[in-house]
Structure 1
Amino acid sequence: MSFIVSEKAIHSFKNDWDLEEGQYIRIYAKYAGGGSEAFSIGINSSATPIDPALVKSIGGFYFFIEKTDAWILKDEFLKIDSNEEGIFLNKISC
C-alpha cells in the first residue's frame, strides 16, 4: 500500500479546492456500482483520522487511509495527480 501526490495535485488542493496547509485528506474505498470493479477510490477533504492505517505528510497536507479502507490499496500503488480537468487518481497494481 503506497501512494504519491504530484506537485500539480498539491497546487490544485490549495488553489482549486481552497484547502489550507495542515488539513487532512482521506483516501477511501467507495462503492461505484456492480460489475468487476464495484469499488473505486475516493478522496475527502473534510475528514479527520479515527483509526488510520497510514498517514503521510505531503506538500503541507496530511493524507491518510483508515484501517477499514486499507484493503482497496493492498498490493496497489496510487498516484494522485491533476490536470486542466482537476484531480484524478491512477491506481497501479504492483
Structure 2
Amino acid sequence: MKLTVTSAALAWFREEWGCQEGDSIRFFVRYGGASTVQDSFSMGIAKEQPNEAGLSTVEDGITFYMEQDELWYMNGKGLLVDYLPATDEVVFKLD
C-alpha cells in the first residue's frame, strides 16, 4: 500500500489551506457521503499531527497520512489523492 498525492493536489493544499513545510494533513474515514473508494463512507481531511500513522508520504516537506486504524478503508490497496480544477475538488481513488 502506498499513498500518492499528485502535484495538483499538493498545489491545492498549499494555496487553499496555506500548507507549508512541516505541516501534516490527515485523511480519515467518515461514515456517510459519497465515495469512489467505499460505499457508505467518505474521506475527510484535517490539518493535524499524526498519532499512529499507518500510511504516509512527504511531498515538498508536507506530511500526508492516514492513521493505522483506518487503513481497512483501502482494502489493501494504495490511495491516490488528486485535485480536479474543473470541479474544484479533491478526489480519492484506490491505486
Structure 1 length-normalised TM: 0.79
* Matched position secondary structure for 1:15: helix
Mind listing any 5+ residue stretches in structure 2 that lack a counterpart? none
Does the 8 Å contact 1:12/1:87 carry over to 2? Answer: no
Structure 1 residue 74, shift from structure 2 partner: 2.7
Mind listing any 5+ residue stretches in structure 1 that lack a counterpart? none
Matched residues, percent identical? Answer: 27
1:39 to 14, 38, 41: 41
Structure 2 length-normalised TM: 0.78
Distance across 2 between alignment mates of 1:86 and 1:55: 24
Aligned CA RMSD, in angstroms, stands at 2.0
* Matched position secondary structure for 1:8: helix
Does the 8 Å contact 1:12/1:86 carry over to 2? Answer: no
Aligned residue pairs: how many?
90
Indicate the larger mover: 74-83 or 2-11.
74-83
Q: Does 2:81 correspond to 1:80?
A: yes
* Matched position secondary structure for 2:50: coil
Map Cα deviations across residues 38-90 of structure 1 (whole Å, 9 max, x no partner).
Answer: 21222212x21111112321122101111111111232232111122334223
